[in-house]
Homo-oligomer: A and B are copies of this chain.
């Protein structure tokens, strides 16, 4: 049941309502040939259980995938909210014209072969935009993977992905990168609100989507992949407003000349100066990340952790090596490794063996387990010189005797259950401490370097504790959070 009420919506929400909450859609270029995108995308719309009506348009077929097909848009029995277009490029202007005449208010043009292929394609693209603008229709694309909107179970997209609803919006100039990010969010158990593959941004630009997502209640964090900006000034102004409401995490590609060339032929994007983009991000409060791991890692932490009040990190590690790497990682990420006041060291003295290193990183030394570790964590969180906690190697937090050993005589399934139950409890206790002290805890640990780590990762998401494999990941995330927190603090009139 779709419940959006256009009467009480803001102007921008109204504008995008046909796109993200359509009551009905037409797929123009629907096909009965399973190898054509017109069949693949229709099957994804059906498999995704789209909540509205679907009208396939195909000049020859009577029925496609069990749905009555129509010979053209004019022939449709009602005016659908949304048109998804997959016909060849040269046919798109006419299709759009018919959509406009039918009164359709939004279209997703998946077809490629426009501005990204040169002057002729650019001309075709202008034609398409003119038709849309004259009629007040909004356009996604062309040259894109399509969109997903989980509120109405709409999966109008090239590769198969049927995510559950969740707090992340993914806005990507590249279809495959947007897809990868959304897929990973789904695999880890997060879910998404919207996936927008915006391609050539002929009509709607990145800035329009950002404006919309800022007001979208289903979206808590915006993850974006950018190759080039159409209008740097507008991007800056828009992002600056949006980041006051919710975080934008951005991966920018085309940073090198070879990358910029590739971007031009990919989405007709002008990558521009990387230094300028970087400074725009800093001034607009955008959290810029370096790769696909990081966009995901930072997003996950933003969702569930309070922002740190500064850059001073406390490190608790089981295993000295992790601690050394963790300290290096903090410094390299622009954080500082907190000095522990005498009282904190005293408190830890009462919890740890006499030969502990009496400094930060706090190395738990072999043989400290369970309760003593949890108490040490609380001591560190309470410490006034610590703004955020990095927890490296979670094994000692598990009850003694919980170990995962794979050999012929062990029942790994039994072990895994006990392991997962214990770890769930540990994550729950950590989440309680996070709330109590209003400071972030980021964990990094590797259990088996494979399958079990993937399971732990899903568990951590459920329990709202960020979990990564490497200390470097944890430090980078804490650093990004600290920078965003500083930006937000500086905006506030009271500096708090």
Q: Which A residues contact B (CB, under 8 angstroms)?
A: 34-35, 37, 47, 112-113, 117, 158-160, 162, 172-178, 180, 183-188, 225, 227, 253-259, 261-263, 265-267, 290-293, 318-328, 330-332, 336-337, 355, 357, 359, 361, 363, 365-366, 393, 400-401, 403-407, 409, 446, 448-451, 454, 457-458, 469-470, 472
Q: Is the CB of A357 within 8 A of B449?
A: no
- Residues of B within 8 Å of A357, CB to CB, are 262, 265-266
| Distance between Cα atoms of A399 and B357 in the complex (Å) | 57
Provided the pairs A319-B177, A321-B253, A446-B184 are in contact, do residues A261 and B327 lie with their beta carbons within 8 angstroms?
yes
Decide yes or no: A227 and B324 within 8 Å by CB, A35-B400, A265-B363 being known contacts: yes
A448 touches B366 (CB 8 A): no
CB-defined contacts of A185 to chain B, threshold 8 Å: 449
In Å, the complex CA distance between A214 and B211 comes to 61
Which residues from B are CB-within-8-Å of A458? 450
Return chain B residues, CB-CB under 8 Å to A178. Answer: 321
B359 touches A261 (CB 8 A): yes
Q: Flag if B35 contacts A449 (CB, 8 Å).
A: no
Copies of this chain, complex-wide, total 2
| Nearest CB of B to A290, in Å | 8
**A258 contacts B337, C-beta separation under 8 Å:** yes
User: With A and B bound together, what is the CA distance between A401 and B404 in angstroms?
Assistant: 38
A293 neighbours in B (Cβ, 8 Å): 469-470
A324 and B174 within 8 A (CB): yes
CA distance A321 to B112 in the complex (A): 14
Q: Knowing A322-B176, A357-B265, A403-B160 touch, does A450 contact B187 (C-beta < 8 A)?
A: yes
Contact between B355 and A393 (Cβ–Cβ < 8 Å)? no
| Chain B residues with CB under 8 A of A253 | 321, 324-325, 328
Q: Which B residues lie within 8 Å of A361 (CB)?
A: 262
Q: Please list 28 pairs of residues, one from A and one from B, whose beta carbons are closer than 8 Å in the complex, sorted by A's number.
A: A34-B401, A35-B400, A113-B355, A162-B407, A174-B319, A174-B321, A174-B324, A175-B319, A176-B320, A176-B393, A177-B325, A183-B449, A184-B450, A185-B449, A186-B449, A225-B321, A227-B321, A227-B324, A255-B328, A257-B331, A259-B328, A262-B326, A262-B359, A263-B324, A266-B321, A266-B323, A267-B320, A291-B472
CB of A176 within 8 A of CB of B450, answer: no
**B residues in contact with A159, CB < 8 Å:** 403
Nearest CB to that of A257 among chain B residues? B331
Q: Is the CB of B448 within 8 A of A320?
A: no
Interface centre among A227, A262, A405 (most CB of B within 10 A): A262
Please measure, in the bound complex, the distance between the C-alpha atom of A365 and the C-alpha atom of B265, giving whole angstroms. 11
Q: Which residue of B lies closest to A113 (CB)?
A: B355
Q: Decide yes or no: A449 and B184 within 8 Å by CB, A324-B174, A324-B259 being known contacts.
A: yes
CA distance A277 to B403 in the complex (A): 37
